[in-house]
Amino acid sequence: MKVTMVIPSYWARESDIGWKEGDAIYDHPTPLDKEGTLLRAMQSMDILEDKDFQLVILAVATAEDIEKQVEEKVANIIKSSGTKIEVLLFGHSHLERIHNLLRSDGKEEYIDLLQLRGYSNVRNLCMFIPHVLGSEAAVLIDDDEVFEDPKFMSKAKEFIGKRIRGKTVNAIAGYYLQPDGDYHIKKPFRPWMKYWDQYEKMNEAFDKIIGTEPRLKETPFVFGGNMVIHHSLFTVVPFDPFVPRGEDIDFLINAKMFGFNFFLDNQLSIKHLPPPKAHPTWRQLREDIYRFVYERAKIANQKKEKRMKMVYPEDFDPYPGCFLKHDLDEKIYRSCEMLALEYLSNDDRESSREALNNIILAKTDAMPKFDPFQNLCKLQKRWQALMEYSSKKEIRLSIKEIIYGR
C-alpha cells in the first residue's frame, strides 16, 4: 500500500515584528527567528519500524511577504533532520505553479479549492497531494507531535480500506497523548466551565471510545493531527473552508453525511506537545462558538439528497454532540456571562466586554449568511470534479513534477 504522510508547518513573522493586520491566524505559528517543533517531529520518526512511506512537509506562511523565507526555513530544517525517509517540501511557490497550470488549462474554477491559508484549506492540500502522488491513503500529522510507538505506521496501515464488522474503514482517527502520557485533558476548573463543559464532555467521549474495547469503533470525534484517510474518502469529500477551526470534527460530520465510515483506533496514539496558546480565553471561546453555531446550522439544514445520509446531533454524543443542540444558545449566554464576571473580578474590563460581546456575535456575525448544508453539497461536487480532473495522466504527471520541484 502506497501511503503519504503530510505534516503542515505554520510560520509567522519574526518575534520583534509579530502579527500584522491581514496575517492569517493560527494557534501557534513559529516566528521565523525561532526553531519551532518541526525538527523534533521529524527526528522522532527514527523510532518507526515501517519507513515505507513518503513524507510531505507543507510550509505554511501567515503572510504573503514571508512566503519565500518560510520555504527556505523549512527546507533547511528538512536538510538538517538527517532522516532516511523520502521528504518532499511543498510551499507557496509550488502552489502558485499549480495555479498557473490550472489557468493555462482553462480550469481557473479549481484555484480557490487549493490554498495554503486557513486550517481547512491546508488540510485539503494534505489530501490533494497524496492523491496526485498516487497514494492509497493519507496520514495527517502535525508538527507539534512526536512519535513514541515504533509500530505507529504499521498500525496506521493495518485496517484502512478494509472491512470491519460489515463496514468499510474509510478513515481512522488516532488520538493524542498529553505530555504526562495520559489521553485525558486536564484543565483547572473555572466557574464559567460549568456551562461550557467542553473538557468534561471531551474526556467523557475519550473514555467511551479510547478507553474501551473493541480496538476499532465508530467515533463522534477525531484529531486532525492523527488521522488516516483512504482515497475512497479523500477523493470525494473535502474539508469545509468556511469552518474557522475545529476542521477535523467538521470533516467527520461531512464524511458521515456522505455515507463514509470513520473509526477510532485505540492503539494509534501520538504524543502531543504543543506550545502554549497565546490567545486569551474569551477569544478561544469565541472561535468555538463560531464553529459550533456553523456546524449546528449545517446539520439543521440537511435535506434528503441522493448518496447522502441524514446525521443528527445525538450521533456525535457526548462530544461534540452536546454543542450541536438547541441549548447551545443557553450555553453561550451563561458561560460568557460567567466569564465576563470573572474578568471583572480581576479588574480586566476590556476582556469582560469581549466575553459579553461573544453573546451578541453568536446571534449575529457567527450565524452563517448562507445555507451551510447546500454549500457543502456544492463544494463536494467541485472537489470531486477537481480530483477526477487531476487523475488524468498528463495533469497528474505535470503536478507531480511541480511537487518534486522539477
If pLDDT is split at 50, 70 and 90, which confidence band does 182 have? Answer: very high
| pLDDT(17) > 90 | no
Give the list of residues 6+ apart from residue 264 with CB closer than 8 angstroms, or none.
172, 173, 174, 175, 209, 210, 216, 217, 218, 219, 221, 222
Residue 309 lies in a domain: no
Q: What is the CATH number of the domain that holds 247?
A: 3.90.550.10
Please tell me which residue, 275 or 169, carries the higher pLDDT value: 169
Residue 310 lies in a domain: no
| pLDDT(278) > 80 | no
Residue 254 lies in a domain: yes
CB 212 within 8 A of CB 254: no
Alpha helices in 92-160 (DSSP H): 92-104, 119-132, 152-158
C-alpha cell at 406: 522539477
If pLDDT is split at 50, 70 and 90, which confidence band does 19 have? Answer: confident
| pLDDT(277) > 80 | no
How many whole angstroms separate alpha carbon 345 and alpha carbon 342? 5
If pLDDT is split at 50, 70 and 90, which confidence band does 21 have? Answer: confident
**Which pairs count as long-range contacts for 370-375, CB under 8 Å and 24+ apart, including other chains?**
371/297, 371/301, 372/240, 372/242, 372/294, 372/295, 372/297, 372/298, 372/301, 373/297, 373/298, 373/299, 373/301, 373/302, 373/303, 374/301, 374/303, 375/240, 375/242
Could you tell me the maximum CA-CA distance found in the chain, to the nearest angstrom? 65
Q: H or E segment at 357?
A: helix 349-363
Model pLDDT, residue 279: 80
Identify the domain containing residue 193 by its residue range. Answer: 3-278+374-403
Can you tell me the mean pLDDT for 368-382? 97
Residue 342 lies in a domain: no
How many whole angstroms separate alpha carbon 227 and alpha carbon 217? 14
If pLDDT is split at 50, 70 and 90, which confidence band does 23 have? Answer: confident
| pLDDT(27) > 90 | no
Model pLDDT, residue 15: 86
If pLDDT is split at 50, 70 and 90, which confidence band does 28 have? Answer: confident
Can you tell me the mean pLDDT for 111-137? 97
| pLDDT(42) > 80 | yes
Can you tell me the mean pLDDT for 134-141? 98
Total domain count for the chain? 1
Model pLDDT, residue 109: 97
| pLDDT(30) > 90 | yes
Model pLDDT, residue 25: 86
Residue 184 lies in a domain: yes
% of residues, the chain, pLDDT over 70:
100
Can you tell me the mean pLDDT for 259-271? 98
Model pLDDT, residue 400: 96
Q: What angle do CA 124, 66, 280 make, to 5 degrees?
A: 70
Residue 322 lies in a domain: no
Nearest to 244 by CA among 358, 118, 402, 390: 118
CB 38 within 8 A of CB 7: yes
CB 50 within 8 A of CB 2: no
Can you tell me the mean pLDDT for 105-115? 97
Residue 58 lies in a domain: yes
How much is the mean pLDDT over the chain? 96
CB 71 within 8 A of CB 91: yes
Can you tell me the mean pLDDT for 21-28? 87
Q: H or E segment at 70?
A: helix 67-81
Can you tell me the mean pLDDT for 71-91? 95
- In tens, the pLDDT along 210-257 reads 999 999 999 999 999 999 999 999 999 999 999 988 999 999 999 999
- In tens, the pLDDT along 298-330 reads 999 998 887 899 999 999 999 999 999 999 999
How many whole angstroms separate alpha carbon 53 and alpha carbon 116? 23
Please tell me which residue, 287 or 21, carries the higher pLDDT value: 287
Least confident of 8-22, 115-129, 221-235, 259-273: 8-22
Least confident of 8-22, 38-52, 198-212, 343-357: 8-22
Residue 324 lies in a domain: no
Can you tell me the mean pLDDT for 87-98? 97
Nearest to 145 by CA among 3, 55, 70, 40: 40
| pLDDT(367) > 80 | yes
